[in-house]
A and B are shown apart, each in its own frame.
Chain A
């Protein structure tokens, strides 16, 4: 469960101006549903995900979380590029108090990275990173998985595998997903949340949500 109570978030840009992401928003996210988050470029979708995860505190207001939330799985931070995939995995296991051997076995099987696991992560492609991140977070078993754009990478076989793995977790876990790829959004989401004008609006019907988003995108263009 996650609830925002009067949450505001701003950023100071290097020009000195402020960019507002959320302005005193109170919002209750639907439970046990896969949520697709849509918004224009720069609206702050990734920041919203970081707020949900707790990677970043809000400027004001409160965020109430119950259950285990994953870190935002994305291309950005989270891994040290000079360390190997396996060393990064060890670190993440330790901070989440997860069983190292169990996780390692699962990730080996799921990611199919093979020998690359012991190579420094700077040699990894985006697809390989996503495979490691997915495998790792699936092995740790979160209640809510936060996914930032990375769903669409990788070959069709791996996409299918991820989908099956998340599908298998549906009883116990849900997704909150940011993507520009409407196919991914349709594939995974039960509801749509649109971040626009510093506000969140929810659409129980995915197609209706996508329609609104596309009309917003049309207007902006």
Chain B
């Protein structure tokens, strides 16, 4: 038993070291890192709000449109950042595998923790602003809301990890993945709710796990909104399957890395 604790302590130390290192590379050099972290969601929210005002559409549910887009853009961003930050995780951590206590999974965990904390702090900042603006009052179920946001980034990360493995065998997969992401943005509910869709479309989009996460997120965030669409177990099962595939795949790539001279 003490062996397990010892191993966990070592892993925690390695993850912590990676978090500090990544923090340093992202935020240590210039203030630009903070700037992007804060303003990236804003550009998404404002762009969507502009488009909606141009086509004269209001918020799909009974909340302010900016707050509605906020609850779409943030989980989407967690998902898509999860995907993109994993795309190079295997090559970039390969040289550090020299240290026997370092595993690729440590880098994966460290990146998830750092990215989630960053976006989470940015979220609080936004909510404070929206609160004083009078648009936002409070979250219906804060704990569930945070949990679903975590699921968003973990789901994105395991999806990205599978992509990172596939990339080593088929380098062109990355262009397919970025195409897939672009399509996913439009069908994952960043700017609509599933219950407003025609049932034929809804039946097809049911297979998109990201849409489930966003619907779930809005249902636990807003008092007046309860989606009839989402099934919590579906994205969770998808996430577990992808996570298994990604981690198993990463094991298999080790000899491949040697061939590629990484």
User: A: which residues have CB within 8 A of B?
Assistant: 11-14, 50, 53-56, 69, 71-72, 76-80, 82-83, 87, 90-92, 94-95, 97
Min Cβ gap A145→B in Å is 14
Tell me which residues across on chain A come within 8 A of B113, comparing CB atoms.
none
A78's closest neighbor in chain B, by CB?
Answer: B98
Tell me which residues across on chain A come within 8 A of B13, comparing CB atoms.
94-95, 97
Contact, CB under 8 Å: B259 / A14: yes
Q: Does B100 sit at the interface, judged by CB under 8 A?
A: yes
Tell me which residues across on chain B come within 8 A of A77, comparing CB atoms.
94-98
Q: Does B101 sit at the interface, judged by CB under 8 A?
A: yes
Tell me which residues across on chain B come within 8 A of A14, comparing CB atoms.
259
Contact, CB under 8 Å: B100 / A80: no
A-B pairs with the 6 shortest C-beta distances? A77-B95, A54-B100, A94-B17, A77-B98, A78-B98, A14-B259
Contact, CB under 8 Å: B16 / A78: no
Contact, CB under 8 Å: B20 / A78: no
What is the CA–CA distance of A60 and B104 in the complex, to the nearest angstrom?
Answer: 21
Given contacts A54-B100, A71-B99, A76-B98, contact A95 B258 (CB under 8 A): no
Partner of A80, one of B14, B20, B96, B255: B96
Tell me which residues across on chain B come within 8 A of A97, comparing CB atoms.
13
What is the CA–CA distance of A77 and B102 in the complex, to the nearest angstrom?
Answer: 12
Partner of A12, one of B96, B102, B255: B255
Contact, CB under 8 Å: A94 / B259: no
* A and B contact pairs by CB, cutoff 8 A, 28 listed: A13-B259, A50-B98, A54-B100, A55-B97, A55-B98, A55-B99, A55-B100, A56-B97, A56-B254, A76-B95, A77-B94, A77-B98, A78-B98, A79-B95, A80-B96, A82-B25, A83-B24, A83-B25, A87-B21, A90-B20, A91-B20, A94-B13, A94-B14, A94-B16, A94-B17, A95-B13, A95-B99, A95-B101
Contact, CB under 8 Å: B99 / A78: yes
Taken residue by residue from 50 to 71, chain B's Cβ proximity to chain A (1 for < 8 Å, 0 otherwise) reads as 0000000000000000000000
What is the CA–CA distance of A29 and B258 in the complex, to the nearest angstrom?
Answer: 27
Min Cβ gap B58→A in Å is 47
What is the CA–CA distance of A76 and B21 in the complex, to the nearest angstrom?
Answer: 20
What is the CA–CA distance of A80 and B17 in the complex, to the nearest angstrom?
Answer: 13
Given contacts A11-B258, A14-B259, contact A78 B96 (CB under 8 A): yes
- B19-78, CB < 8 A from A: 20-21, 24-25
What is the CA–CA distance of A69 and B101 in the complex, to the nearest angstrom?
Answer: 11
Min Cβ gap A50→B in Å is 8
B258's closest neighbor in chain A, by CB?
Answer: A11
What is the CA–CA distance of A82 and B255 in the complex, to the nearest angstrom?
Answer: 25
What is the CA–CA distance of A72 and B96 in the complex, to the nearest angstrom?
Answer: 11
Contact, CB under 8 Å: B98 / A94: no
Contact, CB under 8 Å: B24 / A92: no
- B88-118, CB < 8 A from A: 94-102
Taken residue by residue from 233 to 254, chain B's Cβ proximity to chain A (1 for < 8 Å, 0 otherwise) reads as 0000000000000000000001
Min Cβ gap A154→B in Å is 20
Contact, CB under 8 Å: A95 / B17: yes
Min Cβ gap A217→B in Å is 25
What is the CA–CA distance of A13 and B261 in the complex, to the nearest angstrom?
Answer: 11
A72's closest neighbor in chain B, by CB?
Answer: B98
Contact, CB under 8 Å: A80 / B259: no
Min Cβ gap A47→B in Å is 9
Tell me which residues across on chain A come within 8 A of B17, comparing CB atoms.
91, 94-95
Residue of A13, A77, A82 contacting most chain B CB atoms (<10 Å) = A77
Tell me which residues across on chain A come within 8 A of B95, comparing CB atoms.
76-80
Given contacts A78-B95, A87-B24, contact A71 B259 (CB under 8 A): no
Tell me which residues across on chain B come within 8 A of A91, comparing CB atoms.
17-18, 20-21
Tell me which residues across on chain B come within 8 A of A53, comparing CB atoms.
98, 100
Residue of A14, A56, A76, A91 contacting most chain B CB atoms (<10 Å) = A91
Contact, CB under 8 Å: B255 / A71: no
B255's closest neighbor in chain A, by CB?
Answer: A12
Given contacts A11-B258, A95-B13, A95-B14, contact A83 B98 (CB under 8 A): no
What is the CA–CA distance of A199 and B20 in the complex, to the nearest angstrom?
Answer: 43
Tell me which residues across on chain B come within 8 A of A56, comparing CB atoms.
97, 254
